[in-house]
């Protein structure tokens, strides 16, 4: 009879995080349900949770004239700063949530780009064993325009995909 925790191999679990409540719920769900304890010590796990946040890239403005140029540069600089601050805030929150749970190894990756591409690329690059996503990250409008991030990743990520709904 196989042992339920026979495999002591480290698993690399990528969790896509964003500013939505759904993604925080998904993170808590997998922290509660997925970690596999090291035999003999239920408070230790060999699993590595890799938090991935996709930071939108600021649009590029073409400069019509000097004023326009400086204005555009200022706007994009502000947008970029806001986007970086938001990314840091989301990651900080996610890392604190991980600390509430077991002694799991946590890594954080912030990448600029469209979430659908960033997440699938990170799964490949990191050789993930599992990708975890909230089902409704990204607002209705963005989802309507871009299509659901979870739909895209469920189809294209090269590993098992767990979609957690509230």
Which residues contact a copy of itself (rule: CB under 8 A)? 1-7, 11, 26, 29, 32-37, 39, 42-45, 100-104, 129-130, 135, 150-151, 154-155, 158-165
| Cβ-based nearer residue to a copy of itself, 23 or 150 | 150
User: What is the DSSP secondary structure assignment for residue 138, as one 8-state letter?
Assistant: S
Residue written as token pair 């409540």 = 21
Residue 54 near residue 123, CB atoms below 8 Å: no
> Please, are residues 128 and 159 in contact by the beta-carbon 8 Å criterion?
yes
Task: Please identify, using beta-carbon distances, which residue of 7 and 73 lies nearer to a copy of itself.
Answer: 7
- Residue 30 C-beta: closest distance to a copy of itself, Å: 9
**Token pair 């749970």 in the structure block, residue:** 101
Least Å from the CB of residue 159 to a copy of itself: 7
108 vs 148 by CB, closer to a copy of itself: 148
Report the alpha-carbon distance of residue 47 to residue 106 in Å, rounded: 9
């Amino acid at each position: 009879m196989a042992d339920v925790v026979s495999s002591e191999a480290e698993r690399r679990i990528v969790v896509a995080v964003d500013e939505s409540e759904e993604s925080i719920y998904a993170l808590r769900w997998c922290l509660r349900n997925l970690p596999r304890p090291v035999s003999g010590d239920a408070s230790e796990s060999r699993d590595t949770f890799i938090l991935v946040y996709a930071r939108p890239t600021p649009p590029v403005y073409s400069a019509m004239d000097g004023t326009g140029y400086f204005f555009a540069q200022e706007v994009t600089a502000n947008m970029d700063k806001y986007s970086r601050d938001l990314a840091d805030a989301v990651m900080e929150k996610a890392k604190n949530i991980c600390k509430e749970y077991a002694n799991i190894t946590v890594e954080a990756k912030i990448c600029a780009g469209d979430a659908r591409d960033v997440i699938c690329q990170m799964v490949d690059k990191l050789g993930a064993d599992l990708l975890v996503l909230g089902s409704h990250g990204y607002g209705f409008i963005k989802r309507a325009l871009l299509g659901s991030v979870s739909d895209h990743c469920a189809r294209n990520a090269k590993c098992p995909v767990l979609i957690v709904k509230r």
